[in-house]
Amino acid sequence: MELLIVRHNAAVEPVSDSEEADAERSLTAKGDRQMRRIVDGIVTNVPDIDAIATSPLVRAVQTADILAAVYDDVSPQELDGLAPAGERDDVLKWMQEQGENDTLAVVGHEPHLGLLASWLLAAPFNHFVEFKKGGACLLGWEDYPTAGNAWLKWALTPEQLRKLGKT
């Protein structure tokens, strides 16, 4: 199994400090354009995706939709475990419910994604992975995915992914 982890790109500033206002923040026009170029770079490294899960927050859903547009027959599904206060166990459970040889993608937020990646790589827990907006990494498992037994296949910044998309 492989897991592509993608952080959403730049979003509009919140109109208030409420959780509801934060949840409704969308990608900026520039963030949307850049994400499309980033996805062009992702597809050069990950030619097929079998399932996409996304945080239910608007900016992550928009990012997941951009990602899904380049992969045939994949519709993103919202997963509360990918929300900023989500439980990483919920993400692992979702992964374990997928096919053993599938390539999966998740879209969400920092620091939650960095915590998730760190946990999948080095459980019980150690936070050492951070994602820039639009950054991504690919993790792999030889067999059934559990926390602490993934390996890092690659980690790329948004700039690196945009350059890959141009080639």
DSSP state at residue 11 = B
pLDDT of residue 96: 97
Q: Is the pTM of this model over 0.85?
A: yes
- Output the CA angle 60-62-109, nearest 5 degrees: 15
Q: Which of 10-24, 30-44, 51-65 has the lowest mean pLDDT?
A: 10-24
Proportion of the chain above pLDDT 90, given as a percent: 85
User: Can you tell me the distance from the alpha carbon of 36 to that of 3, in angstroms, rounded to the nearest whole number?
Assistant: 20
72 or 159: which leads in pLDDT: 159
Question: Domains in the chain, ordered, with CATH?
Answer: 2-166 (3.40.50.1240)
**Paired strand residues for 5:** 106, 137
Q: What pLDDT is attached to residue 73?
A: 79
Identify which of 83, 77, 129, 115 has the alpha carbon closest to the alpha carbon of residue 98.
77
**127 — pLDDT class (breaks 50, 70, 90):** confident
Report which secondary-structure segment, H or E, holds 63: helix 58-68
Is residue 126's pLDDT more than 90? Answer: no
pLDDT value of residue 77: 97
Residue 106: predicted pLDDT: 98
- Does 88 score more than 80 pLDDT? yes
pLDDT > 90? residue 92:
yes
pLDDT of residue 20: 83
| Structure tokens given for 30 | 């520039």
Question: Which of the four pLDDT bands, split at 50, 70 and 90, describes residue 86?
Answer: very high
